[in-house]
Structure 1
Amino acid sequence: MGAVQSSTVASSVERALDVLAGRRVVALTGAGLSTDSGIPDYRGPGSPARTPMTFDEFRSGEPAQRRYWARSHVGWARMRRAEPNDGHRAFADLERTGVLRGLITQNVDGLHRAAGSRSVIDLHGRIADVICLDCHQVTPRDHLQARLAELNPGFAATAGPAVETAPDGDAVLESVEGFRIAPCTACGGVLKPDVVFFGENVPRDRVAQAYALVDALAPDPSGDPGGVLLVAGSSLAVMSGLRFVRHAFKHGIPVVIVNRGRTRGDEFTTVRVDGGCSEVLPVLAAAAAGSAAV
C-alpha cells in the first residue's frame, strides 16, 4: 500500500478498489484535498473555527469590502504560489487514462487545472478571477493585485510572514485601516472575487452540469453497471456538495469517500477511507487505471 500504513485504512482502500475496479468515475473534491499544498481547510481535524465573510456582508458597503480586499491582497501573494500535490496529480492521471469522466470541485484554488485536469466544474468559482458586481466584467486577479499594490505600497510586506492564511486565500489581519480598494476599470463598480461566498447561490448552469455528470454514472438496465462517485477531501458539511452524494445514492450509484474524519454523507457511502488524499488517491488511481487497461 506504499504510504498507506494503517491496517484499517489499508482494508478500506482494498474495499474501495473493489468498488472502483473497471468502472468509470466522477470526482467531487473539497478543501481537504489542498491542505498538503499549504492551503488550510475549514472543517478538517484540528482546524480552528473560522467565520468567512458572507455575501450580504460584502455587499453591505465599503468598510466590509476594504476588510476583504486588504486581507485578500496579503493572502493572494501566498496562495498563488501553491502547487498541486499528489492527490491533484492522481485525478489528472485518472482523466488521462479515461477512467475519470469529470471532476466537480468545491475548491477555488485552481490546483486541479494546474495539475493537468481539464474536465473540471469549478462549482464555487475561481479565486484567480475577479468580477464586477455592476457590469459583470471578469478580469484576472493578477491585474487587480498589481493595482492594489500600487494603491497600497508596502502593505503586504508589513503584514509579516507569521500572519495566518485562511482557506479562501485571504490573510488574518488585525487592522486594515487606510487600505485603498480599487473599482472596476470599465464602469467604476464594485469588484468581488469570482467565487461563491457563503450565503450566495451557486449558478444554476454549474449545478445542472454537475448533476449531468453524476447522472451519467447511473447503472443501465441493459447491463451497464454504471460508475462511481469518488469524493475526496470534503466533510460534505454544506449542501452544495452533499446534494450530489445524496443524488448518487438515490439513483443506485456507489459512493466512495476519502477524507480524514467523518463526513455528513457517510450514511450514503459504499466505502469510506479515513485517510489523507495525498496518500490514498495515488493508490486508488493507479489501481483503477490498471483495471481499465485490462
Structure 2
Amino acid sequence: MRVSVPNIPQSLLSVNQSANRVSIAEAIERVSTFLALGNVTLITGAGVSVDSGIRAYRGRDGRYMNPNYKPIFYHELVDETEKGQSFRQRYWLRSYLGYPSVREALPNTTHYAVAALQYAGVIPRLITQNVDGLHHAALSIVHPSPVMVQESILELHGTLHRVRCKHGHLTERAVFQDLLSAANPKWKAFADTIQKEGGALRTNPDGDVAIEHLGISYDDFVIPECPTCLLANRHNNVHKPDLVFFGESITEYVKKRSYLDIENSDRVLLIGTTLATYSAFRLLKHATELRKPVLMIDVGPSRADGVQGVQKLEIASGDIMRDVVRNVLGIRGVIDSLVEEMLSSGIRKPPPKDDDDGLEAVGQQQ
C-alpha cells in the first residue's frame, strides 16, 4: 500500500504572495465587511492554534518545518502483526510524551474571537481540522454544556482527547493517559523529569513528538488493554486516538455534514489552513462550485492560491480578529458581558523557534 503525506503542489510553493499582503487596518475592514451579513461557515486549520503554543506543520514557505517529519499511517497503526505492534509502541510512546503539551494548551485570542462570533450567530457553523479541542474550550464560556459545544463545532479530523479501540470502545484520553503511566513507570518518571526541569519536547499539532535523537527505543513500551474489552474477558491492546490518520478516510457522517455546512452558508471564511489535505480542499471546491464568496486569512502558500473566487489576505489572524468582532458586533460587543469577556480572554504565545524551523512558524495546517 502506497500512502503519502499531503503536500502543497510545488508550483504553488514558489508563487509570490506579496499581492495578498495587506495592512492590519485594511484587513480588519475587509474581514468585517465580509462577516457583516452573517450566515458564514468557518473552516480553521492549525494556524489558529499557533498562538496557543502549538507548533504548526509548515512555515512561511509552505514546507514542513521539520524535514524529518514521518507520521505513522493508518494501515501501520492498525496492523495486528508484530510489525504493527512495533508501530503502535512507537506511536503511543511519542503521543504519551507529547499529549500533555496539547492538553495544557489554552485558547488564544483568535479562538475567543471566533467563539464570540459563534455566540452572536454570525458564524453558525464551524468546521475545524484541528484535533486540540481549543475551539471547544473557548466556546464553553457561553455554552457550558459539552453537548451544545460539540454540536456547534464539526471536527473534520477528530480529536486527540478520546481513544478508540479496534472494537469501537471509547476511553477518555485522561483515563488512557493514566493507564499508560501505570503500565510504564519508567516512562512516567522520564516525563515527570522533563516537566520538573521545565524542558519540552518538540510537539506537532497532532500531539506527536520526535524523540529518536535521544537514542530512545520503543521496544519496552507497554500498551494497556482496552478496559471495556477486559470487562468481557477479551484481551485487546489495539487502540488509536479518535482522529483521522494519514491514509484513513473521514466518516460518511462527517463528510455529509461538512458539505451541508457549506451548502447552508451564504459565504465561507478560511483561517490558518493551507488546505493541503483533500478532506478540507474539497470543501473549498464545493463552495466555489456553488459560487459562495470565499475569504481566506493565512500567511504563506496554500492549495487555495489561484482558485477562482477566493480572496486571500496575507495576515495573521491574531493581529485582527478581536477588532473584527468589535466592528461586526458594534454596541453589542460593549454591552454584552459575555462578548466582552471573550474579547478580553485568550493568550498569544507562539512556540519558540528551534533548529528544525526552516522559517518563522505561522498559521498553517497539514
Task: Return the TM-score normalized by structure 1.
Answer: 0.88
- Confirm or deny that 1:94 pairs with 2:90: no
Instruction: Report what 1:211 is aligned to.
Output: 259
- Confirm or deny that 1:248 pairs with 2:287: yes
Matches within 5 A, 1:221-236: 227-236=266-275
Instruction: Report what 1:223 is aligned to.
Output: none
Measured at CA, do residues 155 and 23 of structure 1 come closer, stay the same or move farther in structure 2, by a change above 3 Å? Answer: same
Measured at CA, do residues 181 and 21 of structure 1 come closer, stay the same or move farther in structure 2, by a change above 3 Å? Answer: same
Measured at CA, do residues 262 and 145 of structure 1 come closer, stay the same or move farther in structure 2, by a change above 3 Å? Answer: same
TM superposition shift of 1:291: 9.5
- Matches of 1:91 and 1:151, distance apart in 2: 40
1:173 maps to amino acid: I
The total of aligned residue pairs comes to: 278
- Find 1:16's aligned residue among 31, 36, 52: 31
- Matches of 2:105 and 2:57, distance apart in 1: 17
Instruction: Report what 1:3 is aligned to.
Output: none
- Native 8 Å contact 2:154 2:254 kept in 1: yes
- Find 1:152's aligned residue among 184, 193, 196: 184
Segments of 5+ residues of structure 2 without an aligned counterpart are 1-20, 141-148, 230-234, 334-366
- Matches of 1:252 and 1:291, distance apart in 2: 32
2:105 maps to amino acid: A
TM superposition shift of 1:184: 1.1
- Matches of 1:248 and 1:200, distance apart in 2: 24
Matches within 5 A, 1:1-294: 8-45=23-60, 47-49=65-67, 50-60=69-79, 61-116=84-139, 118=149, 119-133=152-166, 135-158=167-190, 160=194, 161-174=199-212, 175=216, 176-187=218-229, 188-189=235-236, 190-217=238-265, 227-266=266-305, 267-290=307-330
1:166 maps to amino acid: N
Among all aligned residue pairs of Structure 1 and Structure 2, give the percentage whose two residues are the same amino acid: 36
Moved more, 179-188 or 59-68: 179-188
- Native 8 Å contact 1:71 1:171 kept in 2: yes
Partner SS state of residue 228, structure 2: coil
- Native 8 Å contact 2:125 2:261 kept in 1: yes
Partner SS state of residue 34, structure 1: helix
Partner SS state of residue 126, structure 1: strand
- Matches of 1:285 and 1:56, distance apart in 2: 43
TM superposition shift of 1:284: 2.5
Instruction: Report what 1:221 is aligned to.
Output: none
The structure, 1 or 2, with the larger RCO (C-alpha pairs under 8 Å, 6+ apart) is 2
TM superposition shift of 1:269: 4.6
Runs (4+) of structure 1 moved beyond 6 Å? none
Partner SS state of residue 183, structure 1: coil
- Matches of 1:15 and 1:284, distance apart in 2: 9
- Matches of 1:137 and 1:206, distance apart in 2: 19
Instruction: Report what 1:220 is aligned to.
Output: none
Partner SS state of residue 272, structure 1: strand
- Native 8 Å contact 1:24 1:99 kept in 2: yes
- Native 8 Å contact 1:22 1:292 kept in 2: no
Measured at CA, do residues 247 and 182 of structure 1 come closer, stay the same or move farther in structure 2, by a change above 3 Å? Answer: same
TM superposition shift of 1:98: 1.0
Partner SS state of residue 249, structure 2: coil
Report the RMSD for the aligned CA atoms in angstroms: 2.0
Segments of 5+ residues of structure 1 without an aligned counterpart are 1-5, 218-226
2:75 maps to amino acid: D
Task: Return the TM-score normalized by structure 2.
Answer: 0.72
2:163 maps to amino acid: V
TM superposition shift of 1:17: 2.8
1:46-69 CA distances to partner (integer Å, 9 max, x unpaired)? Answer: 722322211012123110000000
